[in-house]
Amino acid sequence: MKRTTTVLVMGLFCSAWWGAKAQAADLLFFGLEAPLSYKFDQAKDGGRFAAQGSPAGLILYAKAPEVGMVMLEAYDVALKNSENSKFSYLLADFLYPYSLPFLDLAFGVGMGTANLKSGFATEYQQATAYQWIFQAGLPITETIRLTYSYHSVTAQLKYLSGNTYLEAGGTMTALGIGMGF
Amino acid sequence: MVTKKIAFACLGLVFLVGCKEVVKSNKDTISTIAPPTSGSGSVTHVDIAGGSPFKHTQALGDTTADLYYIFTNPNSSAVSGTPSYGQTVGSPAPLAQTMETPDLGPNLEAYAKAHQIGLRGTSEITAYNASPPPMYKGTTASQQATAPLRSAVGDTFTFYTESNSETAAATLRAIKTDGTVTVNLWVANDSWTGCVKANCMTQAMVDALGDKFLTTGANNDIYDWVTNLYGEPWGTQTYSNLIPSTAKTSIDILFYDISNDNSTTGGILGFFYSKDNYLSTSVSFSNQRLLFYMDSILTATKEGTTWGVLDYWPAEMVATLAHEFQHMIHFYQKNVLLGTSSTSSNSWIHEMMSMMTEDLVADKILVNGPRGVTYSDYTAGSANNQDGRPSLFNTYPYISQAYWANDSYVLARYSINYAFGAWLARNFGGAKLAHQLMVTDGDDTTTVVNALASLGYTETYPSLLKKFWAAVLLSSRTDNLAPYIFNTGAAFTSTYGALTYSLGSINFFNYGTGPTIYTSSNLGTAMSSMPAYSGVMMLAASGVKGNQTKTIDMPKGLDLTVVVKP
């Protein structure tokens, strides 16, 4: 009995997703995500920065049918063992969406800036940040999507008094929600 | 159609990932925010604030050497966290010891007796002397009525010792004078010849100790050698509740069984208690005189079949006279004349100056002193030395230097303050510095800096701490330059007034297994913070040459000194 109920419920959900997908393709979606984690890339010196907790900031996105998805990101990543030091990222992205029957997908690229906020900030030049992005959206209802995005960031800040660069690139993950209108 | 789109997306991803790797591969990227630092030579004081990891490159040249990092906390409060450095791949595993907590047990005196250690003063008396009762300006009738003490051998007097309820009935057994000052040597009646204690005082003992302290002639006794450095123990003063200025001509020494412990293996050797410098109307258990207390049992403890003043414990008592005499002079010169106010936590400077005194007069009183090397041997002695204060310093070099508390670290506090004072004396003028420390108002870190400034040395306390620990690490070498000298292989001589003083060399690596030196891996597990005014020595690499670069992560507030030791 219990198994039958579970199968029935799952079947209803799948039907809802399928139906939602068909109708959602024509909707304008807005959403926001909160950064979950940031893992820095390894630098040439063999070390890597460590983030202190989750990044602080927000990601906003809008997806229009037949046009694509734009995304705006602004977040800070505090550094472990570096008192009051953080990297600050500001990026604008364009993603190409693609919908599967039970999942919305999007791939894209972004560009922006990466800054150091620290007592040593004046020692480093602002860097241009690039990234590629992947987003997956799980339909909850016809108009609501739970989204997860993965960002691979490239950013190196030049040390003004030398030829070295701070390795500020890494991978960022975010979780959020989108709503269709 | 779907397959094509997915394939296109995958190709795009591969392209983007590839681009990222191309961009990265062109740049020399690092993972530390603080700008890199560099240095060369045997000692580099790195000018960088902590709080962010940074790269440091030390140029060692072509000579193989050991690379050390010294982290010092120059602040008056502890700094959370411990410093660390990234290991160089392939470097030999550095040697290290584990950090231990001193286990002196609940009773310091019991520990001292069990380990043949002589203590000078007690925790209560040390605190009392550092923060004595208030003094009131003016003169009183009772003060004027207290005439200089004139006594005759055979006189008796009952002394208050450590409290209102503790007394010692004593008899004056000898009077020594140099024509200006008189010393009265009293012995408790229960400690005199024929007593039931473990050892009893005799006339020969009283005379021998008395002659060491004061005898006829100039510049030939503890009184002369120490007053030449610091000035008189008493004299003109303007306070109504202190003993009168005329008391300066007489000093009393009371031998009794301190703590009534009947110990022949250690314990409290003696003390100066400033309560006796007050009138009894102000401090009820004052004996109203310049007075030392000495332990009669240990004074009478012989080493062989016959007693000699240079036997171990009698010699320790002679050194105690010099040690306590500094305390007596300190009270008058600082508290009374300069009006210095202090706290018990500043007792470190009192004790440092007393041990500096022992060090300066060791070869004059013919006692080995806190250096733990034969007084006539000015070299650093030989390996595996277990004597003197440096041994315990080596075990606990990481405790606060400019801080005092009568806790389980108290013996280690004596040791680190001896080491610091010994370094100051060997690099900044010896006897002249000792004098300046006494005549400079204050009993804290600023006093040391000001005393050095009066001799022409421009130092700050943080700079002193950095140089001190560097000198410790370099003490196994005899070719160091000031201010990194502990060891020249010969004597350090200095002159103040009419007298020349000699200090012996010190090599900390001769004591036990040498100073405790940590590595990045074991320091973090040994301690979670750096105490105020402390330092730790870390071996970063041994037997290396060329440029040595490491990532150093030290908490904000610490200083870094790099030492290269061939």
Q: What is residue B479's predicted lDDT score, i.e. its pLDDT?
A: 95
Residues of B in contact with A115 (CB under 8 A): none
Say whether both B93 and B120 belong to one domain.
Answer: no
Nearest CA in chain A to B88: A46
pLDDT in tens, B117-175: 788 888 889 889 988 999 999 876 665 555 445 679 999 999 999 998 999 999 999 99
Say whether both B157 and B290 belong to one domain.
Answer: yes
Distance CA A126, CA A159 (A): 10
B34 contacts A45? CB cut-off 8 A? no
User: Which band of pLDDT confidence, cut at 50, 70 and 90, is reported for residue A123?
Assistant: confident
B551 contacts A45? CB cut-off 8 A? yes
Q: What angle do CA B532, B536, B538 make, to 5 degrees?
A: 160
Q: What's the one-letter identity of residue B20?
A: K
Q: What is residue B74's predicted lDDT score, i.e. its pLDDT?
A: 95
The H or E element containing residue B156 is strand B156-160
If phi > 0 it is left, if psi is from -120 to 50 it is alpha, else beta; for residue A140 that is alpha
Q: What is residue B244's predicted lDDT score, i.e. its pLDDT?
A: 95
Task: Please indicate, yes or no, if residue B333 is contained in any of the structural domains.
Answer: no
- Compute the average pLDDT of residues B81-86: 83
Q: Measuring CA to CA, which residue among B319, B339, B382 is closest to residue B134?
A: B339
Task: Please indicate, yes or no, if residue B137 is contained in any of the structural domains.
Answer: yes
pLDDT in tens, B466-509: 999 999 999 999 999 999 999 999 999 999 999 999 999 999 99
Distance CA B516, CA B1 (A): 72
Nearest CA in chain B to A121: B33
pLDDT in tens, B400-456: 999 988 777 888 899 999 999 999 999 999 999 999 999 999 989 999 999 999 999
Q: What is residue B276's predicted lDDT score, i.e. its pLDDT?
A: 97
Is the per-residue pLDDT at A160 higher than 50? yes
Q: Measuring CA to CA, which residue among B95, B53, B50, B61 is closest to residue B537?
A: B95
Task: Please indicate, yes or no, if residue B461 is contained in any of the structural domains.
Answer: no
Distance CA A77, CA A114 (A): 11
Task: Please indicate, yes or no, if residue B486 is contained in any of the structural domains.
Answer: no
Task: Please indicate, yes or no, if residue B31 is contained in any of the structural domains.
Answer: no
Q: Which of B12, B19, B35 sits opposite A161 (nearest CB)?
A: B35
Distance CA B477, CA B384 (A): 17
Average pLDDT, chain B: 88
B17 contacts A109? CB cut-off 8 A? no
Compute the nearest-CA separation of A112 from chain B (Å): 15
**Domain end position, chosen among B253, B271, B302:** B302
Q: Which residues of A touch B (CB under 8 A)?
A: 40-49, 79, 81-85, 96, 98, 105, 107, 109, 116, 118-120, 123-124, 130, 132, 134, 152, 154, 156, 159, 161-167, 169
How many domains, chain B? 2
Residue pair B131/B343 in contact by the 8 Å Cβ criterion: yes
Number of helices followed by number of strands (H, E) in chain A:
1, 10
Task: Please indicate, yes or no, if residue B220 is contained in any of the structural domains.
Answer: yes
Say whether both B185 and B296 belong to one domain.
Answer: yes
Q: What is residue B94's predicted lDDT score, i.e. its pLDDT?
A: 35
Residue A31 CB-density burial (10 A; 0-12 exposed, 13-18 middle, 19+ buried): buried
Size of interface A-B (CB pairs under 8 A): 105
Residue pair B88/B548 in contact by the 8 Å Cβ criterion: yes
User: Which band of pLDDT confidence, cut at 50, 70 and 90, is reported for residue A9?
Assistant: very low
Q: Which of B19, B34, B551 sits opposite A47 (nearest CB)?
A: B551
pLDDT in tens, A95-122: 999 888 889 999 999 999 999 998 888 8
B151 alpha carbon, distance to own chain's centre = 38
Say whether both B80 and B128 belong to one domain.
Answer: no
Is the per-residue pLDDT at A57 higher than 50? yes
Task: Please indicate, yes or no, if residue B253 is contained in any of the structural domains.
Answer: yes
Nearest CA in chain A to B31: A48
Q: Which of B31, B53, B553 sits opposite A167 (nearest CB)?
A: B31
Q: Measuring CA to CA, which residue among B368, B471, B352 is closest to residue B413?
A: B352
User: Which band of pLDDT confidence, cut at 50, 70 and 90, is reported for residue B533?
Assistant: very high
Q: What's the one-letter identity of residue B440?
A: T
B31 contacts A164? CB cut-off 8 A? no
Q: What is residue B520's predicted lDDT score, i.e. its pLDDT?
A: 75
Distance CA B382, CA B222 (A): 28
B33 contacts A132? CB cut-off 8 A? no
Q: Which of A47, A85, A154 sits opposite B52 (nearest CB)?
A: A85
> Domain of B212?
116-302
Q: What is residue B99's predicted lDDT score, i.e. its pLDDT?
A: 41
- Residues across chain A: 181
User: Which band of pLDDT confidence, cut at 50, 70 and 90, is reported for residue A15?
Assistant: very low
Residues of B in contact with A116 (CB under 8 A): 33
Q: Does residue B551 or residue B563 have the better pLDDT?
A: B563
pLDDT in tens, B176-214: 999 999 999 999 999 999 999 999 999 999 999 999 999
Residue B33's contacts (CB-CB under 8 Å, 6 or more residues apart) are: A79, A82, A85, A116, A118, A120, A124, A166, B52, B53, B54
Q: Measuring CA to CA, which residue among B187, B176, B207, B211 is closest to residue B307?
A: B207
Q: What is residue B173's predicted lDDT score, i.e. its pLDDT?
A: 97
Domains along chain A with CATH numbers: 2-180 (2.40.160.20)
**Domain end position, chosen among B271, B302, B333:** B302
Q: What is residue B519's predicted lDDT score, i.e. its pLDDT?
A: 82
Distance CA B58, CA A77 (A): 32
Q: Would you list the DSSP string of B385-444? A: B--TTHHHHHH-TTS-SS----STTHHHHHHHHHHHHHHHHHHTTTHHHHHHHHHSS-SS
Task: Please indicate, yes or no, if residue B554 is contained in any of the structural domains.
Answer: yes
User: Which band of pLDDT confidence, cut at 50, 70 and 90, is reported for residue A150?
Assistant: very high
